[in-house]
Amino acid sequence: MSRIEAYDALTSLLDEVDARYRKAKEGYEFDFETEIAPFLETNKTLVYNMEEIDTDGRFDPVTRQKVVEEFLELLMSCHAGRFSRKLYKEKTKFINMWVQHAKREGLIS
């Protein structure tokens, strides 16, 4: 996957997470077997690939691992309407900041 494709896939995934979170907040109940599990299975590889991004001084291995952990938690939590809006915003802001950084620095390959 090229750098642009990887960036586009990650930003699209963040958009999908946001759409699912809004839907959950509106009261929609996601079915684990037909909606959540396939979503997780489809997207976890993309998220894990962030661990392979070439590093610079700021995006070190510890930070990459933290971004991946936060992203994976967000993939699951976005389906729960009871998930705190404040925590959701903090996590998406943190993840988006590093995705943008990786794009800017040409680190997504």
Average pLDDT on 80-100 reads: 94
Kindly report the backbone phi and psi dihedral angles of residue 105, in degrees, each rounded to the nearest multiple of 5, phi listed first: -85, 0
| Predicted confidence (pLDDT) per residue in 46-74, tens digit | 999 888 876 677 888 888 899 999 999 99
CA distance 29 to 8: 28
pTM: 0.88
Residue 102 has a CB neighbour count (10 Å cut-off) of 24
Domain chopping of the chain, boundaries: 3-104
Q: What is the pLDDT of residue 80?
A: 96
Of 9-23, 35-49, 50-64, give the lowest mean pLDDT range.
Answer: 50-64
Assess if CATH 1.20.120.440 describes domain 3-104: yes
How buried is residue 11: exposed, middle or buried, by Cβ count under 10 Å (0-12/13-18/19+)?
middle
Identify the three-state secondary structure at position 99: helix
Residue 74 has a CB neighbour count (10 Å cut-off) of 23
